[in-house]
Structure 1
């Protein structure tokens, strides 16, 4: 038996060179991972998690270098590898999966070509490599693997792209697999399936996992041990269940307090955060041990006091959210299909919904269900094949360039990755000034006043107006993106995974900001997320999408307490029955779209007849044959 660890890091120091000289990003870091072990690494943005991954693979940026310590993979010091040995190590022993799959995939090559290349590197050729690629896509639970093989990356959703990248990483059965926020773009059901796949990989291949994530419950589920990083130092380490239940270091306790739990809503008050937007900025780093974690403790205590005060004040109001007689937005019968080679993918199929002032409508569903397509159609970035949009009762043109200035200002978008939405070279004053000029048509002193109001609203200091976007943390960039979207005082924001790329402490502050803007300005949100705890916290009503169809709509309280559709039950994890494996990748064209997966199918009725929309409660509508006009919940 080989007792040599798959990975051993001893007294590692990594520094980055900046305008003011070198600054340590990792300081005296030591830990090891045994063969077949899963080790979790958690901490907020800037704590050094990704630097650990880059240092192990020797992928540090040009201004970064290993100052001291050792990194051993299978007993060999990576720092001493020459270029050829380094290439062989990456080829045979080490695989990395990053957060953004678009950067890992070649946009000019089909998925099949890229994935078979991974198997060719592992020694397979021709049809054997293609068969292995097809089998691996099935292992990572990608719908319609045959269609995916002939698709280009842009033709797949973000979650599907991520599963392809994971498949590529698993192709060579590495001895060490590093996953850096690799499940960020995955919905709950697919995420669970990927975790099960990683667990089986450990058992079958003795692969060691370094799992870097801001999703602390996921770390508990997958990992044997977990380390907590604060500003480049390991402040706590242990078994996840024990460590998260009885955190000893104040920083760990602070991180845990920021998590929205599945039963918590915005009516319970704001989430605790780690201080203000700059509280743990890399630029202000200093030794946490000298503070004894007092900053973190004070931040959490202040957040808890704010929660108690908000609770006494009644929070935000009723369970269904504020409603007016007429909705701001009506989406009626929207359909959209994509052509992929000779096939047609029905992304949306006669989707209808509405949103009222001051309301948050959550959109949930697995990868490929049509969530982002819906957001693009509503925002005018993609025309629908059929259906209509109305804003305040008036027709809304399909393309954004045909919409009036007032319509554009009334409905803005906030995207998942603010660094892609902002010009990183521009200063905040320019980014916000242009938006205020175009959307609010303000000039001179009025323009400057609006810029200051926007910064105040998103809780960024006015002194940061001279900073460039690239100088801000991820959370600060997202605040700027929200401020820019609010430049024309919109009535509605389309939020497509706005917090999924953020660590738990920054996510909490952004969610609090959304709620505060809603309270003070009656802004409505079309809020897309695969994080069910986030949706539960912020949404007033929820729409469940499956393969382009709305299968259930309800008030958030009702949906999470009493899901009706079998798919919703699976998505929320309220049923222990796994989905059936269909005999074909193509959904039924005649009956219920979920029939081939459903564990409680009624047979021919579900397979041959399209179910009607049945109201099972006040505003609770489900598309399922198990329900009828006079039926109660069939599982009662």
Structure 2
């Protein structure tokens, strides 16, 4: 770009902004004392959140998002301090408040909702005690606090607040816990609500409910929101403005629509390109990735801090630190710390190998041999003497080199089904499990060595699956020694091959897992799962806690390993965009029952079961908005201890026909799709025929309103047919 740089963003005039802003952050620099020296983790960060506005902060883990929130609350750890800058909340300079004033501000002006509601709630206290404390801290008498607690729980759409008040946190679902935490945060009608990854662990429908709730309460109370998330689609849905943090610096800021439609920093462009989107799959293209890693905290960099990872960087970038360039965009000013912000959108894609042609017979009209088969698989638990059917008569199969995606709300039976396949749970009598056509023992302890190493798992949280005391070399080497006949130098050779396959640099072999990033830990977990050359790998939410850049790299890795080794995956995830990208077929579970199964394109493209329709409508989509109307399912998932009669979904179904749904279990409807040489079957468990489902759902996509799953009858025509 030629000519003098445009003027940078003007410094905030706090005297003018403090009355109109819920939060003003001016020139904030934060340091952590590590190994005897101060390291800057935030550098000259400035932004404002206006009253009633939602402002999003995005960026990779370690970029400083949560540090901004902790600094605003003055909750920095003991080794952290604000080196420079000001933080103004509702007109008060946070750094100048004494202990009493700070306590008052935290009780009345600002609240925070954390990522994990289970850790935010005291497991030894009832919900009533914890919610009433939020009011009592503001000086409300005990009796009045109880009344207000019931009201606030109703306000966050908890249907039976009296029952919930008497419950302990572990007795509530994740979505219910998060609503309780939000209720506590809103008890004081704060001027600013900070949400730090509040929906990461929630399924699609609960996430949509929580986001709707936040938007509704924000509208009612006029509360400003600082929304921290690595889910760009959620930020796009919830926030008017967004700031992009990288290595402690705000590298881009502006109206969310402007930043996401035409990003002006290569880092923002890279983050957006990492996302799986509609129409993309592992068979058509690899996800774009951002090479390299964040610089270490406190690193002194000459020039642009992003230059080492940027595919637009030149000598000027490495020599001169870019100022905050300001340009006019469609919805206001847009800032970017990039010398070449005008052509950032032209950032070249990461070099990707051409995807190899599939020679396993999938495209030649012959489906590969079945690896795993489950028929009439059921699992009943006994809770307080009452039977609870967690998995109910599920029949599925898995072909060599195929990925089967399992989707459904929390409590639908996905993980229980996976544990039955792995032999970690014993199925009910009459269940059938086969591996390569050979009966598979119900318990893993009764399976032979070959069967044990043929089925492996990659967990959602590698920290809970990897021993922190052991080095990476020992973790993977131990799996090799147990699952293979290799010894001595042969193990070292195989270890080198395996770590190369999962793109784990050799320098990390001597490290403990606590020294690794989340993405590297998950690579170690994947390498350990592949130690015995498995036939089937169960992936249970393997990317849900990862940044979009790391997620893209892990998804590419899983797809590469599948192509190279012919392994099959059972892939469990709440992120339907990720499931769509990686899966060949999709199975939809609800209350332990299989409601739909078929090729991914058919399940996502429709027609689909009304429950699948509701799940898909709940997923936030970045960019071009889905024309599908948002479907709100009334109530929570029923208990598997007392499932509804007839169709298990009829109590929440927006397309319920009437008595037939309440009284009769629907059969599976089947449609043959695909080519004549390679037919595929799409099965839906519903009383509504395929053609009618297609017509109803096509009509819904033309509507701009929102459907409500309240169990009401469908249409006069359907009611007449039912009679």
* Pair 489,140 (structure 1): closer, same or farther in 2 beyond 3 Å: farther
Establish whether residue 620 from structure 1 lines up as the match of residue 682 from structure 2: yes
CA distance in 2, matches of 1:123, 1:336: 48
CA distance in 2, matches of 1:167, 1:195: 13
CA distance in 2, matches of 1:159, 1:355: 31
| Cα RMSD for the two superposed structures | 3.3
- Report the alpha carbon displacement of residue 489 of structure 1 after superposing the two structures with TM: 1.8
The equivalent residue for 1:234 is: 250
Establish whether residue 306 from structure 1 lines up as the match of residue 349 from structure 2: no
* Pair 322,248 (structure 1): closer, same or farther in 2 beyond 3 Å: farther
Aligned partner of residue 121 in structure 2, secondary structure = coil
1:235-634 paired onto structure 2 within 5 Å: 235-275=251-291, 278-282=292-296, 287=301, 290=304, 293=307, 295-297=309-311, 303-306=349-352, 309-310=354-355, 323-330=367-374, 332-337=376-381, 339=383, 346-385=389-428, 387-573=431-617, 575-576=628-629, 578-579=631-632, 581=634, 589-617=644-672, 618-627=680-689, 633=694
Segment of structure 1 superposing worse, 151-160 or 182-191: 151-160
* Pair 595,130 (structure 1): closer, same or farther in 2 beyond 3 Å: farther
Aligned partner of residue 290 in structure 1, secondary structure = coil
CA distance in 2, matches of 1:205, 1:342: 45
The equivalent residue for 2:230 is: 214
Unmatched segments (≥5 aa) in structure 2: 1-16, 314-345, 618-626, 673-679, 699-723
Figure out how many residues of one structure are paired with residues of the other and give that number: 630
Aligned partner of residue 200 in structure 2, secondary structure = coil
Segment of structure 1 superposing worse, 552-561 or 193-202: 193-202
* Partners of 1:588 and 1:595 within 8 A in 2: no
CA distance in 1, matches of 2:359, 2:52: 47
CA distance in 2, matches of 1:404, 1:54: 51
* Pair 38,357 (structure 1): closer, same or farther in 2 beyond 3 Å: same
CA distance in 2, matches of 1:322, 1:281: 49
**What TM-score do you get using the length of structure 2 for normalisation?**
0.79
* Pair 488,580 (structure 1): closer, same or farther in 2 beyond 3 Å: closer
Segment of structure 1 superposing worse, 113-122 or 2-11: 113-122
Unmatched segments (≥5 aa) in structure 1: none
The equivalent residue for 1:105 is: 121
CA distance in 1, matches of 2:422, 2:396: 15
Aligned partner of residue 283 in structure 2, secondary structure = helix
* Partners of 1:334 and 1:352 within 8 A in 2: no
CA distance in 2, matches of 1:584, 1:245: 37
CA distance in 2, matches of 1:279, 1:463: 15
- Report the alpha carbon displacement of residue 77 of structure 1 after superposing the two structures with TM: 2.4
**What TM-score do you get using the length of structure 1 for normalisation?**
0.89
Segment of structure 1 superposing worse, 62-71 or 122-131: 122-131
CA distance in 2, matches of 1:536, 1:602: 30
- Report the alpha carbon displacement of residue 137 of structure 1 after superposing the two structures with TM: 5.3
Q: Which has the larger radius of gyration?
A: 2
* Partners of 1:162 and 1:185 within 8 A in 2: no
CA distance in 2, matches of 1:610, 1:27: 61
The equivalent residue for 2:708 is: none
* Partners of 2:64 and 2:247 within 8 A in 1: yes
CA distance in 2, matches of 1:170, 1:322: 58
- Report the alpha carbon displacement of residue 261 of structure 1 after superposing the two structures with TM: 0.6
CA distance in 1, matches of 2:512, 2:176: 33
- Report the alpha carbon displacement of residue 459 of structure 1 after superposing the two structures with TM: 0.6
* Partners of 1:542 and 1:556 within 8 A in 2: yes
- Report the alpha carbon displacement of residue 450 of structure 1 after superposing the two structures with TM: 2.1
- Report the alpha carbon displacement of residue 526 of structure 1 after superposing the two structures with TM: 1.0
CA distance in 2, matches of 1:342, 1:90: 46
Aligned partner of residue 466 in structure 1, secondary structure = coil
- Report the alpha carbon displacement of residue 499 of structure 1 after superposing the two structures with TM: 0.7
Segment of structure 1 superposing worse, 397-406 or 86-95: 397-406
